[in-house]
């Protein structure tokens, strides 16, 4: 290649690359407006606390339970759903690299050795010519991104990658929350099981007493059968609670990535200690930390970038192609200076007529963007609802907890009085059974409400994206 050819090629490349500075076609992304509220109702129902510096990713430590910390750590390490989500992140990362590679020329090398003979029965300047050719060229292909098609493709790929990252973080948050909820549900179920077992033991003692009174002629067979019925009913309840505990245990095993038949978890102690306090006046901006909303917005960015990709199809596509290498009829002279061969030149594709394909694709990309906008806004509305539901439930459950505590004390006292009256001969055993049944129902409700309060606090933390620390940036 002589100096003039080099200058020509250089000027051509510089002139074409200068066009790459043109703005990319298609709309630039702007976050759509959504309906928001400055504060949540029921957010100031509890005493404020100072916001800790702990990362939102470790929100479960606020419950101050070492066993819970261990279970969540194991779930985040072994859960198969999370591993699949992280694998999807790596796939999206690779696709982003593939999209970025379009900014650079594609260069390859091909080694060729051909032997050919021309036909003797056709008009040919060199009839019956037998020739061998050896070639070793480097090939180059480069799309010059004049109108931003490649830039928009890369922008879309990166947005999809960020969305996948956020979805993986949403999976991580979900697994931690489900593990904590299962843990607290197990603790509440264990407490309920203890209550039923204690009631059953008391009923068996009363059955022994009633049978003794009947043998002494001081109680009827009806009282004995009523006492036996109470014992059998409690045994049914105890078996039902045990079955529910087994289901919870098996669900926890799956969260921890373990086989249910081999997984065991000991009886949980009662739910004690203080719940993590909700600060006064939670602002709606806390939703910015939710990974599912961030993923929805990244998907919105990707859909917006695809409008630019579709719009770029209306403009000319310019590519720079070329090859340079050696060609020779003799292998010994392949790498001599006289065997050098090269070619270079731009190719321009002008989309004069596509049968409406480009316009239809452009309209489709616009409609896909509008769909993504509606999905994003719906996700925001659902997020507000989830947070408000959890806040309201927290407030109402706190009120229920206070009331049920009084009901438990009254029911226990009524049961004790009924049992004392029966022993003294002042009432029938039916009154004892009714008092025991009422006390059992109230105590089981108290256990369920206590567990639900802890689970609802986990639900609130999950709805807020992992806590209530203020986001540091938009």
Contact 331, 325 (CB under 8 A): no
The string of pLDDT tens digits covering residues 336-375 is 777 788 777 777 878 877 788 889 989 999 999 999 999 9
Please check the confidence at residue 440 and state whether its pLDDT lies above 80: yes
pLDDT in tens, 176-230: 999 999 999 999 999 999 999 999 999 999 999 999 989 988 888 998 999 999 9
- pTM: predicted TM-score of the whole model, two decimal places: 0.81
Estimate to the nearest angstrom the gap between the alpha carbon of 379 and the chain centroid: 13
Helix 149-215 crosses helix 66-78 at what angle (to 10 degrees)? 130
Helices (H), 268-356: 291-312
> pLDDT for 290-305, tens place per residue?
899 999 999 999 999 9
Domains within the chain, CATH numbers bracketed: 18-78+147-314+354-463 (1.20.1600.10)
Q: Average pLDDT for residues 38-57, to the nearest whole number? A: 44
* pLDDT attached to residue 50: 34
Q: What average pLDDT score do residues 55-76 get?
A: 85
> pLDDT band at 273, cuts 50/70/90?
low
* 440, 195 Cβ separation under 8 angstroms: yes
* Non-local CB neighbours of 300 within 8 Å, separated by 6+ positions: 29, 32, 369, 372, 373, 376
Q: What is the mean pLDDT of the chain?
A: 82
**Quick check: 16 pLDDT over 60?**
no
Question: Is residue 361 packed enough to be buried (19+ CB in 10 Å), middle (13-18) or exposed (0-12)?
Answer: middle
Across 68-82, 116-130, 317-331, 423-437, least confident range: 116-130
Say what the pLDDT of residue 28 is: 86
Token pair recorded at residue 177? 């929350």
pLDDT at 425: 83
Give the ranges where 145-219 is alpha helix by DSSP (H): 149-215
State mean pLDDT over 276-297: 79
Residue 318 confidence (pLDDT): 78
H or E stretch covering 328: strand 317-328
* Distance (Å, whole) CA 365 – CA 303: 7
215-272 per-position pLDDT tens digit: 988 888 998 999 999 999 999 999 999 999 999 999 999 999 999 998 988 887 667 6
Binned at pLDDT 50, 70 and 90, residue 21 comes out as low
- The set of residues, in sequence order, having a beta carbon less than 8 Å from that of 123 and lying 6+ positions away, is none
Closest CA to 291 of 390, 381, 379, 416: 379
Query: Which residue spans within 401-446 are E strands per DSSP?
Result: none
Q: Residue 85: its pLDDT value, please?
A: 93
* Maximum average pLDDT range among 58-62, 120-124, 470-474: 58-62
Tens of pLDDT, residues 370-416: 999 999 999 999 998 998 899 999 999 999 999 999 999 999 999 99
Rounded Cα gap, residues 257 and 67, in angstroms: 17
- Report pLDDT for 368: 93
Q: How far apart are the first and last CA of the chain?
A: 55
């Amino acid at each position: 290649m002589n100096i003039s050819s080099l200058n020509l090629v250089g000027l051509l490349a510089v002139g074409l690359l200068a066009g790459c500075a043109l703005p990319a076609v298609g709309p630039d992304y702007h976050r759509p407006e959504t309906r928001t509220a400055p504060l949540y109702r029921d957010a100031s129902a509890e005493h404020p606390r100072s916001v800790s510096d702990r990362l939102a990713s470790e929100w479960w430590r606020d419950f101050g339970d070492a066993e819970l910390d261990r279970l969540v750590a194991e779930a985040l390490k072994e859960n198969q759903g999370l591993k699949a989500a992280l694998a999807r992140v790596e796939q999206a990362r690779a696709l982003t690299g593939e999209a970025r590679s379009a900014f650079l020329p594609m260069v390859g090398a091909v080694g060729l050795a051909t032997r050919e003979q021309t036909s003797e029965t056709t008009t040919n300047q060199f009839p019956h010519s037998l020739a061998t050719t050896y070639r070793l060229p480097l090939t180059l292909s480069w799309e010059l991104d004049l109108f931003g098609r490649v830039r928009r493709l890369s922008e879309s790929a990166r947005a999809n990658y960020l969305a996948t990252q956020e979805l993986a973080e949403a999976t991580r948050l979900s697994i931690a929350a489900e593990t904590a909820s299962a843990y607290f549900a197990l603790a509440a179920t264990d407490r309920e099981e203890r209550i039923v077992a204690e009631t059953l033991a008391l009923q068996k003692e009363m059955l022994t007493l009633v049978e003794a009174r009947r043998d002494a002629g001081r109680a009827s067979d009806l009282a004995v059968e009523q006492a036996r019925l109470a014992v059998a009913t409690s045994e049914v309840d105890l078996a039902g609670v045990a079955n529910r505990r087994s289901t919870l245990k098996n669900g926890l095993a799956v969260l921890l990535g373990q086989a249910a038949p081999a997984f065991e978890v000991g009886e949980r102690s009662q739910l004690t200690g203080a719940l993590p306090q909700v600060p006064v006046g939670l602002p709606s901006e806390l939703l910015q930390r939710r990974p599912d909303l961030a993923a929805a917005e990244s998907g919105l960015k990707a859909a917006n970038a695809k409008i630019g990709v579709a719009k770029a199809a209306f403009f000319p596509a310019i590519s720079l192609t070329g090859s340079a290498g050696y060609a020779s009829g003799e292998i010994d002279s392949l790498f001599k200076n006289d065997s050098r061969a090269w070619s270079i030149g731009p190719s321009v594709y002008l989309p004069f007529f596509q049968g409406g394909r480009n316009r239809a694709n452009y309209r489709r990309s616009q409609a896909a963007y509008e769909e993504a906008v509606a999905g994003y806004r719906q996700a925001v509305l659902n997020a507000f609802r989830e947070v408000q539901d959890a806040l309201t439930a927290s407030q109402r459950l706190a009120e229920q907890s206070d009331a049920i505590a009084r009901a438990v004390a009254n029911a226990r006292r009524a049961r004790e009085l009924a049992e004392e009256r029966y022993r003294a001969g002042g009432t029938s055993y039916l009154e004892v059974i009714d008092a025991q049944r009422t006390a059992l129902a109230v105590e089981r409700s108290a256990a369920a409400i206590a567990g639900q309060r802890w689970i609802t606090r986990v639900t609130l933390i999950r709805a807020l994206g992992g806590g209530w620390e203020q986001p540091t940036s938009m």
